[in-house]
Structure 1
Amino acid sequence: MTQIRANALDELSWRGLVALSTDEDALRASLAAGPVTYYCGFDPTAPSLHMGNLVQLLTMRRLQDSGHKPIALVGGATGLIGDPRMSGERVLNDHETVAAWVDRIRDQVQRFLSFDGDNAAVVVNNLDWTSPMSALDFLREVGKNFRVNRMLAKESVSARLNSEAGISFTEFSYQLLQGMDFYQLYRRYGCTLQTGGSDQWGNLTAGADLTHRIEGISLHALATPLITKADGTKFGKTEGGAIWLDPEMTSPYAFYQFWLNAEDSKVGDYLKIFTFRSQDEITALEEAAKERPAQREAQRALAEDITTLVHGEETMHRVRAASQALFGSGDLTTLDASTLSDAVRELPSASISSGTHSVVDLFAATGLVDSKSAARRAVTEGGAYVNNLKVDTTEAVVDTADLLHNRWILLRRGRKSLAVVEVG
């Protein structure tokens, strides 16, 4: 067991999950001597966690699988303030909203950790120790141990100070609150390691520094790198915003498609970070991506694994069937209405009244082709499909009998261009 605990850092390293560490040799020795109690914090600044948070949840799970004991902190206190952003001051949410989000995020966190055995996970709320403390006590017991010059060096604080908007004292004080969390968890649970993203490094070390000043002992911090796409943009962001774990905010179908469309150059990294496949399995999938990129074996493995992890196996099978059916490799009529609704939600669309309509007109109306003459060419060239059935005449029509779930008609041009017609 000692070797398994010690190997935890090697497991994180080969998966590309170690960007910064306070003292890697000391941390390795601590893990070997363990079990180590560690924590990661999740602020309720939205009603759901997103893909960036999932990196931390899976890092926590890997450490737990190696025999160490996790504490998941949901920030009922820090969520009322918000970590300073580069872009400007946050809008403060009211207490009732944050409390509701705390409950939602606690439920999400609990799905990824084990609450059984000797190293069962614990979920805590930092409002429990922050709320009873007076402002004077906070300044005397916590603020006294922070140095403003170090706080000013934090990247987001420095950027905000040099902007026209500046930074409020409220957000500037966020470091003190998070630093106090590590100290409190050390006192209450013997927690000696904090994990988080590399953009949180200043906050991670703040707690270690505070505890060292008060208790004279050294704690550990471990930061994962920021995950980016091939173009260097922040991972998990699309034109529509974050990729959320809540199925009401990002549908399971959209979630699955996001991973299915991962770039060949990044899919190996994503497999290491977001799946529990072995090193040999991932190496084989990386080779497949290089040798047979059109088959997208690695992307399919990634999409299936992570959708199962977040939404469950049954949902994964359902959205995989929808993905295959939309692109002609499955039966559209077998899809339930909810899954089909999610699948067509982002497609180009046109609304029609009930009755009979020309297929050529519909192709033009949805924008799948530039004009009706282009629609006729698509038909004559054999590249036009209605509900996955090839259209063989430019005089073809659709009517109520063609509707999927009495609501939709799926149009496809070629292999990949899709649109939906909905009866309004």
Structure 2
Amino acid sequence: MTDAARLDHVRRIADQFINFFNTGLDYAQSRNPLIEKSETGSRQLKNNYDWWKDMGMLEFLANYGRFIRVNQMLARDSIKNRLDSEQGIGFNEFTYQVLQAYDFYYLNQHFGVDVQVGGNDQYGNIVAGIDFISRLVRQDSTKEQSCYGLTVPLLTTASGVKFGKSAGNAIFIDPELTPSYQIYQFMYRTEDEDVQRFLYKFSMLPLSVIDRVVETHNSNKKDRFGQRVLAMEMCDLIHGDGEGYDNNVVSKTLYSKDSDTEFNSEDILRAFKKQNMVTPLTRKQLGESTVPQLLYLLSNGSHSKSEFRRKIQGNAVYLGRKKDDKIESVDTIIEPERLIDGKLLLLRAGKEYYIAELVD
């Protein structure tokens, strides 16, 4: 990795942490007005490059090498499993637990960090840090070792499917990697058996409210009420209050059968614009374009006009939010009066939607 790429990653990670904590605090306060900012403590973000950049290998081995036990490193499951695999393990991965152990020691000595939190897969590295600190502190009889590790299980669904990069279903808090609408859709697909458990884990709704949500959900699971609330809460937690509502507008506009009167064009346009799903369209373009030409324009040429003509001939193109306004002719030109509130164009071609705002 180049220095430029590394620095860019550091900046992005820092921005994500800062945004997540600020947004999370606002979210928590919106769900529980008794929480005050003055009661939430402080936080610091540290980059281990600051203490490693001046540390030479010979210096590290001379000062700390004798406190590291190779037999213990080899005995840890994370190392044993890699050693027994066909790929084996590189020296960089093997020594990673040493680097993480020293990070814990440095944070403990300079910033009073006593607890390290990580997933279950980090158990060996966390224990290595505690052991490392214990061995070093024992050299100074005036100090006492008081460090701890807290591990949390990897998240799984009721059917046993793991969440994460290796499972191919990870979601990221960076909107450039996972737009908030994708988070909404991801949580909306949650299995019924997981709704209550995930609401407890990922929302800060009062328990009594969660119980009522689950009760309503269980009374008619086809409505997916629980999944909708879960998806909205997750979006608000990660991206800020109101993000869940806007994504609910997008979802209901595109997929609900009874959304014609629920949202006005302003709600819909605001929600879709947040997801960069709206294309500006002039009255001239609307008045001079047949539906295949219009779809070609709105798709940025990703599909051909002939493909859209075939979809129309196959009864697969609709105007608006329901299937009762079918485009029946390839020569159809849509009049402004047929748009939602006279300015919102919503076209469905097969399984894809195209949204445009009429501008002067």
The TM-score with structure 2 as length reference comes to 0.72
Looking at structure 1, the residues matched to 307 and 269 of structure 2 have their Cα atoms a distance apart, in angstroms, of 26
Partner of 1:148: 70
Partner of 1:29: none
Match of 1:268 among 187, 196, 200: 196
When residues 392 and 321 of structure 1 are mapped into structure 2, their CA distance, relative to the original with a 3 A threshold, is closer
Partner of 2:227: 299
Matched, 1:257 2:185: yes
1:105-146 Cα offsets, whole Å, 9 max, x none, are 112112343786683111111111111111012223333222
> Which one is further off, 386-395 or 216-225?
386-395
1:55-95 Cα offsets, whole Å, 9 max, x none, are xxxxxxxxxxxxxxxxxxxxxxxxxxxxxxxxxxxxxx222
Partner of 1:103: 11
Match of 2:170 among 222, 229, 242: 242
Partner of 1:203: 125
Alignment of 1:178-197 (within 5 A): 178-197=100-119
Match of 2:88 among 166, 169, 186: 166
1:185-231 Cα offsets, whole Å, 9 max, x none, are 11112221111111111111111111111114241111111001233
Partner of 1:134: 56
When residues 120 and 258 of structure 1 are mapped into structure 2, their CA distance, relative to the original with a 3 A threshold, is same
Q: Which amino acid aligns with 2:352?
A: A
1:134-164 Cα offsets, whole Å, 9 max, x none, are 1012223333222222212333322322233
Alignment of 1:61-72 (within 5 A): none
Q: Which amino acid aligns with 1:260?
A: Y
Partner of 1:17: none
Unaligned runs of 5+ in 2: 26-36, 139-144, 279-287, 297-305
> Which one is further off, 196-205 or 268-277?
268-277
Looking at structure 1, the residues matched to 174 and 96 of structure 2 have their Cα atoms a distance apart, in angstroms, of 27
Give the secondary-structure state (helix, strand or coil) at the position aligned to 1:231. Answer: coil
Identity of aligned residues (%): 33
Partner of 2:33: none
When residues 343 and 386 of structure 1 are mapped into structure 2, their CA distance, relative to the original with a 3 A threshold, is farther
Alignment of 1:371-386 (within 5 A): 375=315, 385-386=318-319
Q: CA RMSD in A?
A: 3.8
Partner of 1:220: 148
Matched residue pairs, number? Answer: 308
Alignment of 1:308-323 (within 5 A): 308-323=236-251
Shift of 1:292: 2.3
Give the secondary-structure state (helix, strand or coil) at the position aligned to 2:347. Answer: strand
Partner of 2:32: none
Contact map agreement 1:289 1:297 (CA 8 A) in 2:
yes
When residues 257 and 123 of structure 1 are mapped into structure 2, their CA distance, relative to the original with a 3 A threshold, is same
Give the secondary-structure state (helix, strand or coil) at the position aligned to 2:116. Answer: strand
When residues 338 and 94 of structure 1 are mapped into structure 2, their CA distance, relative to the original with a 3 A threshold, is farther
Unaligned runs of 5+ in 1: 1-92, 346-353, 379-383
Q: Which amino acid aligns with 1:123?
A: L
Contact map agreement 2:200 2:210 (CA 8 A) in 1:
yes
Give the secondary-structure state (helix, strand or coil) at the position aligned to 1:391. Answer: coil
Match of 1:355 among 289, 294, 309: 289
Partner of 1:278: 206
Give the secondary-structure state (helix, strand or coil) at the position aligned to 1:124. Answer: coil
Partner of 1:56: none
Give the secondary-structure state (helix, strand or coil) at the position aligned to 1:246. Answer: coil
1:312-355 Cα offsets, whole Å, 9 max, x none, are 1243332221112112415584433882694879xxxxxxxx83
> Which one is further off, 335-344 or 174-183?
335-344
Match of 1:420 among 347, 353, 360: 353
Looking at structure 1, the residues matched to 354 and 313 of structure 2 have their Cα atoms a distance apart, in angstroms, of 16
Q: Work out which structure has the larger RCO, using CA pairs closer than 8 Å and 6 or more positions apart in sequence.
A: 1
Structure holding more strand per residue: 1
When residues 395 and 372 of structure 1 are mapped into structure 2, their CA distance, relative to the original with a 3 A threshold, is closer
Contact map agreement 1:254 1:343 (CA 8 A) in 2:
no
Looking at structure 1, the residues matched to 184 and 85 of structure 2 have their Cα atoms a distance apart, in angstroms, of 39
Matched, 1:411 2:348: yes
Structure holding more helix per residue: 2
Alignment of 1:28-43 (within 5 A): none
Looking at structure 2, the residues matched to 188 and 122 of structure 1 have their Cα atoms a distance apart, in angstroms, of 13
1:346-396 Cα offsets, whole Å, 9 max, x none, are xxxxxxxx83248xx99x957x99x956x3xx8xxxxx8422144367845
Looking at structure 2, the residues matched to 172 and 289 of structure 1 have their Cα atoms a distance apart, in angstroms, of 48
Contact map agreement 1:323 1:343 (CA 8 A) in 2:
no
> Which one is further off, 182-191 or 115-124?
115-124
Looking at structure 1, the residues matched to 107 and 326 of structure 2 have their Cα atoms a distance apart, in angstroms, of 71
When residues 118 and 296 of structure 1 are mapped into structure 2, their CA distance, relative to the original with a 3 A threshold, is closer
Q: Which amino acid aligns with 2:19?
A: R
Shift of 1:166: 1.7
